[in-house]
Amino acid sequence: VSQHLSKMKGKVLRAERKGLEIYYHIHNLKASKIVSVLGYIN
């Protein structure tokens, strides 16, 4: 999973480190819309 996240970092995701934990946020508007639509399908 971390390999996939590191490939998307900078293009789709933003990473924020808090101590030992890393939080990822969707940075790309298109990706955000896709995830939003997929959430409504379930």
5-37: pLDDT as tens digits = 888 988 899 999 999 999 999 999 999 999 999
Strand partners, 17: 22
* Total domain count, the chain: 1
Q: What is this structure's pTM? A: 0.65
Per-position b or e across 4-39, b if 16+ CB within 10 A of its CB: eeeebeeeebeeeeeeeeeeeebeeeeeeeeeeeee
How far lies 16's CA from each of 23, 25, 34, in Å? Answer: 5, 8, 22
- Quote the domain boundaries for residue 11: 2-41
pLDDT confidence of residue 40: 83
Which tops the pLDDT comparison, 42 or 30? 30
Are the C-beta atoms of residues 32 and 38 closer than 8 Å to each other? no
